[in-house]
Structure 1
Amino acid sequence: MQFIDKLAWIEIQNKSILSTKSYGKDKYYIPGGKREAAETDEQALLREIKEELSIDLDLSTLTFVGVFEAQAHGHPGGTLVRMTCYTANYSGQIKAAAEIEEVRWLNYADQDKISAVDKLIFDHLKQLNLL
């Protein structure tokens, strides 16, 4: 079993969740990414969100949501993605940057547009009546 260790920032407004699609990808993902060597969750998430969305997360408001695991989209069977999710307030205006082609607000009915791990996260948020 191989694991891809990723971090994600959950931003919900009006029962929709902020999602991103990278150039050349066929699915939307909750924004975030992989940590670099020796980075903490906080460091990696702040860096990734700044790179992808041109905004700054407020570290003092960072709140752990959960860890979700599923088959990694587009990878061989047995490759799991482990997504550690947080919420946080932010400053700045959200706009696509770096490898991000599109930023879109998705709702629970958009499950055909997302990866397996994001489906688990959507289900969790739906149970909390957030989506």
Structure 2
Amino acid sequence: MCLRHRRLLVVRPHGQDAYFLPGGVPEPGETLEEATVREVAEEVGIDLRPDELTLLTEIVTAAYGRPDTDVRLVCFTGPSDAPPVAIGEIAEVAWFTGQDAGRCASAIQMLIARRRARPSAGRGSIPGSADCPGRGDESRRRGLAADRHGLRRRIRRRRRPHRL
């Protein structure tokens, strides 16, 4: 899951009308992190490293267009400033805000609703989210800083005394 400037990276596959997160199904013997790295590279051309991914959340709900099938959405964040491009099965990439949730598959709508309900969660909240881990001035302004691995941690701010 990539958030930049309060926008969530979503993709629309060829022949679909809904938007999804980049991703897919792990191949035999592949970890979830390895599958994420492979799928993100195949779908949007962004290179990530499995050891730099951080588990964000997990959602289980009905699969889009298949009400008798559940989908397990496991979301990671990881550092990257690379611009996404539509590759292979992807017809379009877009950056959505919470207002665009209705154009997404139900699992993505649930993800957005969860993040909106937790604005104090910091990382990845929609709206008002910080950028991808370790990126941009907005992260620092929201009280987050990146360590040398690109993972965010809460930083303390000095409080100014109130003036009367």
Q: TM-score, with normalisation over the residues of structure 1?
A: 0.86
What is the match of residue 104 of structure 1?
A: 94
Structure 1 residues 57, 128: CA separation in 2 closer, same or farther (over 3 Å shift)? farther
Q: Deviations over 1:59-118 (max 9, x none)?
A: 33210011101111111x331111111000126432110101100001111122011111
Structure 1 residues 91, 16: CA separation in 2 closer, same or farther (over 3 Å shift)? closer
What is the match of residue 47 of structure 2?
A: 56
Q: 100-109 or 83-92, which moves further after superposition?
A: 83-92
Pair 1:82-2:54 in alignment: no
What is the match of residue 114 of structure 2?
A: 124
The AA in structure 1 aligned to 2:88 is A
What is the match of residue 14 of structure 1?
A: 5
RMSD: 1.3
- Per the alignment, in what secondary structure is the counterpart of residue 21 of structure 2? coil
More strand per residue: 1 or 2?
A: 1
5+ long unaligned stretches in structure 1: 1-9
Structure 1 residues 107, 93: CA separation in 2 closer, same or farther (over 3 Å shift)? closer
Q: How many residues align?
A: 121
Contact 1:70–1:80 (Cα < 8 Å) also in 2: yes
Contact 2:14–2:90 (Cα < 8 Å) also in 1: yes
Larger radius of gyration: 2
* Moved >4 Å (runs of 4+): none
Q: 30-39 or 87-96, which moves further after superposition?
A: 87-96
Aligned-pair CA distance for 1:58: 3.2
Distance 2:19 2:86 in 1: 13
Q: Between the two proteins, what is the percent identity of the paired residues?
A: 29
5+ long unaligned stretches in structure 2: 120-124, 127-164
User: Higher relative contact order at CA 8 Å, sep ≥6: structure 1 or structure 2?
Assistant: 1
